[in-house]
Amino acid sequence: MADKNVFNEVPENLGFYEEAIPVNWEEFKKVAESRRSIRIYKDDPIPENVMRECLRLTTLAPSSSNLQPWEFYWVRSPEKKAKIIEFCLSQPAAKTAQELIVCVARTDTWNRNRKWMVERLKKEPNTPPVAFAYYEKLIFWVNYQGPCSILAPLKWLITSTIGLFKVMPRFPFGKKGLMMWAVKSTALACENLMLSLRAAGFDSCPMEGFDEVKVRKLLELPTDALPMMIISAGKRKPECMYGPQIRFDQKHYVFEV
C-alpha cells in the first residue's frame, strides 16, 4: 500500500467531465500517415487564419503540470525570415518555406505560470485543496534551483537518499534538468503543430540543424530560453522528399513486457 501523497490523494470524483466526442479514426490515421518531412515547398501561401488555428491547436498539447513552458515565434518580417533561413544553413526546407516557426523551450516562466495556475484554479468551484498545495508548494520546491543552481546537488542527494527507501519521483536537477523538462513539453506541442498543418492540407519540416545562439540573439531571448526546433511550413512540391518513409522494424522499439 502506497503512502498518502499529493499524487494519490485525489478524490474518486473530481467533479468535472467533458464528454469524449465522437472522432474519426480513419481520418486521423490519414493525417498521421501522410505527414512527411518536406524539403521543398511550392509557392502556395498558407492563409493567415489557418496558421493561427494551427498555432492554437499547437498549444492544446498537454504540458508538465500544465505549466506550458513553451513559446512559438511565427517569423513574419522579411528581414527576420531571411536571417532565420541563413541560420538554418539555407537548407531548402527553410529557403523554400512559406512560413517558419521557431519553437522555444523556456526554463524561466514556470514560476510565473505556476502563480497563474493558482489564480485560475481559484475561479473553479471544485478545485480540491490538494491542487493548491501542488502549485503553491510542491511545484515550487521541485523546480526551484536556487541562485546559480546551488540547490541542485542537494536536491539530487535528497531524492536519491529517499529513493533508496521508498518510491520517489526525481526532480529536474539544475539548469540542464529544467531545460530537459521544458523541452519535453514543448516537443509535445511541436508535434501538434506539424499534425495540424497536415490536417489543414499543408506540410512541414522540423529542423534542428540551425545556429541556436544566433536565433536566440535575433529573437532577443534570454540565455535560459532554448530555440529547440524550427518548423517550416508550406505545400509540398513534387519530388520534395528524400525517399519513402523509413522506420526501423517495430521490434526494435516497441516492446510488450
Q: Which of residues 21-80 bind a copy of itself (CB under 8 A)?
A: 21-25, 27-37, 39-40, 53, 55-62, 64, 66, 68, 70-77, 80
> Among residues 89, 154, 157, 158, which is the contact residue for a copy of itself, using CB under 8 A?
89
Grid coordinates given for 193: 503543430
Q: Is 223 in the site for a copy of itself (CB under 8 A)?
A: no
End-to-end CA distance of the chain: 23
| Long-range contacts, stretch 179-182, CB < 8 angstroms, 24+ apart | 179/105, 179/107, 179/224, 179/226, 181/64, 181/69, 181/107, 181/143, 182/69, 182/70, 182/105, 182/106, 182/107, 182/110, 182/226
Number of residues interacting with a copy of itself: please give it, by CB under 8 A: 127
Q: Is 95 in the site for a copy of itself (CB under 8 A)?
A: yes
Q: Is 140 in the site for a copy of itself (CB under 8 A)?
A: no
What residues from 102 to 131 belong to the interface with a copy of itself (CB under 8 A)? 113, 116-117, 120-121, 124, 126-127, 131
Binding mask 167-206 for a copy of itself (x = CB under 8 A): xxxx-----x--xxx-xxxxxxxxxx-xxx-xxxx-x--x
Residue 105 CB, nearest distance to a copy of itself (Å)? Answer: 9
Q: From 100, 106, 98, 70, select the one nearest 88 (Cα to Cα).
A: 100
> Among residues 45, 147, 161, 228, which is the contact residue for a copy of itself, using CB under 8 A?
228
Q: Is 153 in the site for a copy of itself (CB under 8 A)?
A: no
Q: From 237, 210, 231, select the one nearest 72 (Cα to Cα).
A: 231
Amino acid at position 22, single letter: P
What's the distance, CA 39 to chain centroid? 23
